Structure formats: structure tokens, C-alpha cells
Chain A
Amino acid sequence: MSTGRLHPMSAAIREIAGMFAGMGFGIAYGPELEDEWYNFDALNVPADHPARDMQDTFWTKEEKRRVPRTQTSSVQIRFMEEMQKENILPPYRIIVPGKVFRNEATDATHEAQFYQCEGLAIGEGISLAHLKGTLESFFKEYLSADAKVRFRPSFFPFTEPSVEVDVWYEVAGKEGRWLEVMGAGMVHQTVLKNVGIDPEKYQGFAFGVGIERLIMIKHGVPDVRLFHSGDIRFNHGFDVTRVEDNLKDMAS
């Protein structure tokens, strides 16, 4: 009997999870169908704020409408709330790989459903420089040893300062280039206050990266719509090499 194949998304998330585990990041989960509070208000996006127009949102037809989450950032809130409830003080470090939804026309680079990996690090003295260091380490490991990270000013309601993150990507035989890969920043003090964390004592960074986009860059996938098409020809478009044989562990 031949071995089945993991979806490339699973393979990539395993790689990413392993790299962040090395930097002390756990993994957290939250619902894909969110309350407005977790998806917007708690993240410092009040009702009728123009920032709500920044993302095209699906809404449910329910008495109290809910939202298929537009970002995995909602899990930041749930995670930090949970920690407060259990009286566990920072430092916190998590990543949140998961599906998010945007109500926008689809094309080769846009999908209404995609995976995002949120990152959150909260502690005493966690700075924008740590964000840069963390992302640079990640990209050096995930993309290429020559990877470098640069920041540009940006705006997100849930971070201040906010930055766009570009990564320098160089592969043999191709000219190196800067790629726009994610948004990030220092967690907004209102977000920390919303979950009961003292922003005078603790601070930290958050980032959110589209996983399909990373895979597309790294492996040359031409169209984001292939990922969740349920088409096994996509799985078989990659040659898979197992890094190490872990069958022994599985049998135990």
C-alpha cells in the first residue's frame, strides 16, 4: 500500500510551527465563526469606524449577527483572556494558524477563504526590534538563508506602531527581490487593556501572514485558488521528500 500525501498547507504549517516552537511559540486555536466583539471591537475596531471598511466582511443572517473571522487576530484576544482567567501572567508567545474569510472577488492572488498565521509575543520589554529579529530568523529558516526583513509604516487598528513587512527573497538563478508579505506591529494598548493586561508593564508584537502566499512564493504556485479546491492534482504537483522517518514514534 502506498503512503498518502498531506495537503501542502499541512506540510507548510508543520514547518512553520516547528520553527516558531524553536523560538518559544505555542499554538492556539479559536472559532472560525466569531462574535463581532472578538473579530472587531476587542481589536480596537469600533462599530462604524472606517477601519471596518479595510476588510470585506461576511456576516451571518442571525438575530445577533456573527462574522466568519476576517483575521486570526481574534484568537489573540481569546488566548489572552484565557490566560487572565487562569491568572497566568506574561510572557506569552503563540502562533495561530487558521482559516480566515474575506468577501472579495477571487482571482489568482485573492481567495475568499485562506489561511493566516497570526503571531503574538507579549512580555516585559518586547519591542519592534524583537519583531524584526523573530521574523528575520523565521524567513531565513523558511525561505532562504539570505532573507532580510524591512519595515514600512502602516496602519492597523490593533497595533501601534504598525508596519508592513517586506522580505528579501533570493533563489539561485533568479534576481533577488523585496516581497510584501505581512502586516505587523506593537500590540495596541487598547487591545491589552481590553483583555486586562497592564500596558504600562507589558508590551509586545503581533503579526499576521498569509500562508498560501508564503507557499506560493517558496514553491512557485501560480494560483491561490488551487489550495482549497479539493483537487488532488494540486497535492501531486509537488514532489515530497520526508525529512526523517518518524514511523517508530507513531507505532508507540
Chain B
Amino acid sequence: MKVSRAWLQKYFEEPLPEVEEIADALTFHSSEVEEIKGEMMDVKILPDRAGYALSHRGVALETGASLSLSLKSDPLRESLPEFLTTDQLTVEVDDSYVLRHLGAIVRGVKVGPSPVWLKEALESVGQRSINNIVDATNYVMLNIGQPMHAFDLAKVSRGVNGETRIIIRRAAAGETVTVLTGETYTLATDMFVIADATSGAALDIAGLKGGMASGITETTTDLLVSVGTYNGTTIRKMSQALKLWTDASLRYQNKISPELGAYGMRDILKLITDIAGGEVVGVIDVYPNPAAALPHVPATLERLNAILGTSFSVEDVTTALDRIALPHQVEGEMFTVMPTFERTDIATVQDVAEEVGRVLGYDRVLPEQLPAMQTAPDQRKFLGLERLKDVLTEHGFTEISTQSFAIEGEIVLENPLQSDRPALRTTLVENMKDAITRAEFVAPLVLGTEPTLKQFELGSVFKKDREHFALTLGYKQLSGKQSASVLPEAVQALVDAFPASGLTVPATINPAICELSLENVNLEAVGEGYDPIKSTLSEYKQFSIYPFALRDVAVWTLSGTEESEVALTIAGAAGDLLARMDLFDRFEKTDATTGASRISYAFRMVFQSDSRTLADTDIDPAMTAITEALNAKDGWEVR
């Protein structure tokens, strides 16, 4: 909800602080201010408060509560006039949809530009001024939260006695309404329209948007003002089906009280006659089941403090309830809160505790430790899973984590994010295959000269009638011959480690990839008493997304030369494109004639840049520098 400081100021005698200070107060006592633009704040009104706070009046109340400022007046606490009735209007409603409808006829208005104050108010919250009548309805809605609409009365048919007859009814299948902004919507029978009962024509989509044909123009002189309260759930479904969300539908779907309608009618009639002249002929109020007063909520001081973990006094609680303008009585330490009609969010002692906590400030809730538990916490299933992982990492397997959405599966999604992965995975095998392929490609970078690639994933798989954990192992020989025994041995080691757990060796094991179901494994038993291996992780270093290049270098050194000396020499000369290096060969040779002994070291080097793909022209100078640095050492010689 966009609110402006100037608009809020109308509610206070004292000057409000700067907008940043208001925003801060609201964020810590009411609802988060998501954005500040000049004097305008975008307040993310929480859903439970939307019944009263999607309005400047509501945000002013919250601002006052947050900053300890009193409102100079509250439009919802001022008395309502007795509306004159009229025989020039009849309104028939479908009370499955209409909770209340107030209709008024105003004659003799002069449509024109809005006065400066009204234009400025609307512009201060990013709305465009249209004309004085439309602006007035928008202003009242943004001010107190009651949506409303004004029709050009001349565009509605007359009955035999000259009266206007309105019906709020279900739309006919396929009935269309062209709205004020020009779009035409095709309606269904679970939607509702405000219709001209004489002609039968739909005038607008009730509660969502006004119709173009009956809109206000420069020549309009007589108005039908419509202030309705509609079924919030139906409105929400209509908005979703039509993909039409409006300021009005937002308020209706948050279930504003039908009591608010009368305040809306009071304010709009006054504003229209003030700025556009005209005369109110009368008001027809259709209110099939008037809302009962909201139930009183008992709340003892003890319970409030028990919920919040505070030691607030009767005076503290009284202050909080006064600041948020919740009427209440107190007898000793027993409060009875009597929510005003718009505070439908106050129904339980927990709701009252929230009001007290947030108004006084959650900084007054001091951290407290939980009491000790009598029984030891049960983490066995978790520890069982972790124990399986530890066995595998000890066998050289690295854990990966992949997506649960798959190309194929037994269960598909109604609304997948990626159309090529519409199903829930039934196996981890496909993702493992893909991960192994990708790992093979980057192995020199992350594994160096390690000859084997071994990975596992432990995760949920989804069958039509059940879901369970699966454990998948993948293996690939990077150098040398692929072994048929690596996976079978690893699986056997797992099974042997937990003999009575229900873990079994599958009948056949693919030597490259193998999946075990943990469905019938007693993980609690596996985890019983286990203390998992704990490790700490360093700051993360992001890998480069650019390709890497490999180069080898072999050098003869003198007998007694350490590997580290060679490595340091290479690192010192290579420059910052050297991503890693690994020794992959070392041998010693004694010359038969001289008797002198030499050591050969061979290193594999990985070159990579964080910002580009490397070309030979990048790497060659580094290789030249390395060769020169090695050759410069006494008795060393690059082979």
C-alpha cells in the first residue's frame, strides 16, 4: 500500500517526523516499509491487518501507535448520518455474493478537474487524477479502505415510473463486460455483475472494475454511487480467473467489514457534493445479514506475559491497547478487549498479545534459555543417514546434491517450472550420470591427477504410492582401466558395516552406477549412538566459469631436490593464470658412466582465468617463464 507522509499528516496535530523515521517505526511496530520514494512509502501491509490497514486511516493509526502520537480524529469513530431513502432507486442482490450494498443517487453534479488538494493527494501516492468524481471515489477508498464506484445515471435505463433498477447477480455464461480501461472480459457463472435490471445489461464486474459504457464523462450530471461489500473468497477466485487484480479486489479479498460501507457512503457523498456540487436524492442500503459486533476477547495479564515471555504491568498493556485504539476494560489484571468492527484480526488472547508485543516493541522481549529437557533428543534417523554418508566419504566418495524434478516419472506436476522437467524423480541415477559426465570434464581442475571419480547422492525419490530415500553411487576411472569391483566393494562395505539394518546388496550392480533403496532400512538403528564426523568449512572460493587448459612440464633436478622446491619454482614463474598443479611422476636415475644421480619431476598444470577463455598466446609466455626459471637452477634441465 502506497502512503504519503502529507496524507498521513492530515490525521495528526503534531508534525510527523521525516519519512525515514516513520518508515522505521512502522517496520518495527507494524508492517515492513519496502520502499521509500521521496515522501511516499510502500508499506507491505500484513495479510491479517489488511481488513483495516489498507488505507491511510489504518496506516495513520499504526503510525500513531508506533510513534506514540494520537490521531486528532478517526473517521471510523465519528457518527454516521441517517441516510435519506429514495423511491428513485431499487437494488436487488444475490446475498451469496453481496454482504451489503449501499446505492445513492446524486443529481446535478458538475464533472471537471479535481481541486488541487485532491490531485496532489492522489499524485502523492502515484495515482493519476481523472476527474473530480472518479478522483473522489479513489480518494475515499485510499483514505478509509472502502472501494466504491460511480456510474453515470443517464446511461442506466429507467423503469416505468422513471426509477433506476439495479440488480447484482450471477453473470450469464459468456456474458461480456468492457471495463473502464477498455479491455473486454468474458465472464462465467461463478462471477457476478452489477446490472441494469430494466435492460438486463451488465454495467460492471461487481467488486472488480467499473464498466466503460456507464463511466463518468464530462457531460455526466447525475450519478449512481455504488458502495458494496462482496464475498472475499469469490472475489479472489474471480480475480484469479480473469487475471484482474484491482485496488478494490485486493481490499475485498481481505474481507473488509460490511460495516465500513456506511462510512464509505457518508464520506463519498460529502466529498462529491463539496467538490462537484449536486444534491443527494437518497440512499438505498441493502444489508441482508448485518454483521454482529465482534466478540469480546478476554486476556489476563499473566497469559499475555506468558505468551510474550515478558513482565509487562497492567499500565504497560493499557498503554499499548490505547495506542492502537483497541477499546478495553480492565479489572485487576483481567483485560477484556472489545474490538471495533474493522479489527476482525483480534479474536484470541494470542492476537492481543501480538498487539501488546509489537506496540511496546519486541526489543522488550528479552532472550531466555529453554528449560532443560528430561529426555535426550532423538536424532537417530538423521544420524543413521549421516553415518552412511561417512562410510562413503571414507571410501573416497564425494557427495552431490541434484534437483528433484525429472524428465520422466510416475508423478507429474500440474505447473512445472521447466516444461522439460515436469515429473518428480523416481531415481537418482539419471542425475548421477549427468553429474559424472560433468565431473569428468572438470576433474583435472578439482581432482588433479586423482585417477578415480567417485560420487554419491542421498535423496528422496517419488513413486506413485510412496516416497523414500535412495542412495546412489557413481564411479568413473579417469586414468587407467575402469574397474568392475569398485562399486560392488563399496556397496559390500556399506552392507557389512550395518549388518542388521535391512541394507542389502542388490542382485546386480552396474560397475559404473548403482542405486540402493533405503526404504526398508532401519536408519534409527544405524544411527543409534553415532557421533558423525564434523568438519568446518572455509570461506567459499567461486570457481571460474571459463575453460581451463592443461600443460605438463618435466624437469631433471639434482639428487636430493625436494618436490616442494620444484613446485615453488614453477608457482613463482607461472603468473596468476596457474589454477593448480599436481605432481604426476617422479623417478631417480643414476648415470652409468658418471655415477651422478638425478631426479625427474613431472607436474601437470591447470591454467584458467576468472575473466576469459585462455588462448595459447596467454599460456605460452607462462610456459616459457616456467622453463626458463627451472633451467636457471644449477644442474636442472627441463626435459
A-to-B contact residues, CB < 8 Å:
1-15, 17-18, 20-21, 23-27, 29, 31-33, 48, 50-51, 54, 58-62, 65-66, 68, 91, 93, 97, 99, 101, 103-106, 112-113, 121, 123, 125-130, 132-134, 136-137, 149-155, 160-164, 186, 188-189, 203, 219-222, 227-244, 246-247, 249-250
> What are the residues of chain B within 8 A of A239 when measuring CB–CB?
537-538
Known: A10-B399, A29-B381, A155-B48. A127 touches B30 (CB 8 A): no
**What's the nearest-Cβ distance from chain B to residue A75, in Å?**
12
Contact A221 B411 (CB under 8 A): no
Chain B: number of interface residues, binned into ranges: 35 or more
CB atoms of A132 and B365 under 8 A apart? yes
Given A127-B308, A235-B400, A152–B442 Cβ distance below 8 Å?
Answer: no
Give the distance in Å from the alpha carbon of A62 to the alpha carbon of B463 in the complex: 13
User: Contact between B377 and A24 (Cβ–Cβ < 8 Å)?
Assistant: yes
Q: Name B409-444 residues within 8 Å CB distance of A.
A: 411-417, 424, 431-432, 434-435, 438-439, 442
Q: Tell me the nearest residue of chain B to A53, going by C-beta.
A: B236
B306 partner, pick from A101, A127, A136, beta carbons under 8 A: A127
* Docked CA distance A26–B32 (Å): 34
- Which chain B residues lie closer than 8 Å to A4 at the CB level? 392-399, 454-456
Overall SS of chain A's interface: mixed
State in angstroms the CA–CA spacing of A98 and B230 once bound together. 41
Digit string of B98-136 for contact with A (CB within 8 Å is 1, else 0)? 000000000000000000000000000000000000000
B543 within 8 A of A: yes
Chain B residues near A93 (CB-CB < 8 A): 370, 373, 377
Q: How far is the CA of A20 from the CA of B395 in the complex (A)?
A: 29
B529 to chain A: closest residue by CB: A249
B324-368 vs A: 1/0 string, CB under 8 Å? Answer: 000000000000000000000000101101100110001101111
Contact of A137 among B369, B424, B531 (CB under 8 A): B369
When the two chains form their complex, are residues A240 and B370 in contact, meaning their CB atoms are under 8 A apart? Answer: no
- Contact call B398/A242, Cβ cutoff below 8 A: no
Q: How far is the CA of A244 from the CA of B382 in the complex (A)?
A: 19
- CB-based closest 10 A-B pairs: A129-B309, A127-B309, A161-B354, A24-B373, A151-B362, A155-B46, A133-B367, A230-B435, A239-B538, A26-B378
Q: Is the CB of A130 within 8 A of B369?
A: yes
Bound form: Cα–Cα A48–B190 in Å: 14
Q: A250: which B residues are within 8 A, CB to CB?
A: 387, 390-391, 394, 497, 533
Q: A229 to nearest B CB, angstroms?
A: 8
Across the interface, which residues of A come within 8 angstroms of B459, CB to CB? 99
- Assess the A242–B401 pair: CB atoms within 8 A: no
Whether the pair B531, A246 counts as a contact (CB closer than 8 A) is yes
With both chains docked as a complex, state the minimum distance between the C-beta of A123 and any C-beta of chain B, in angstroms. Answer: 8
Determine how close the nearest CB of chain B comes to the CB of A194; give it in whole angstroms. 15
Rounded to whole angstroms, the CA-CA distance of A236 and B536 in the bound complex is 13
Output the least CB separation between B608 and chain A (Å): 11
Interface residue? B253 (CB, 8 A): yes
Select one of A97, A150, A222 contacting B542, CB under 8 A: A222
| Residue of A whose beta carbon sits closest to that of B452 | A1
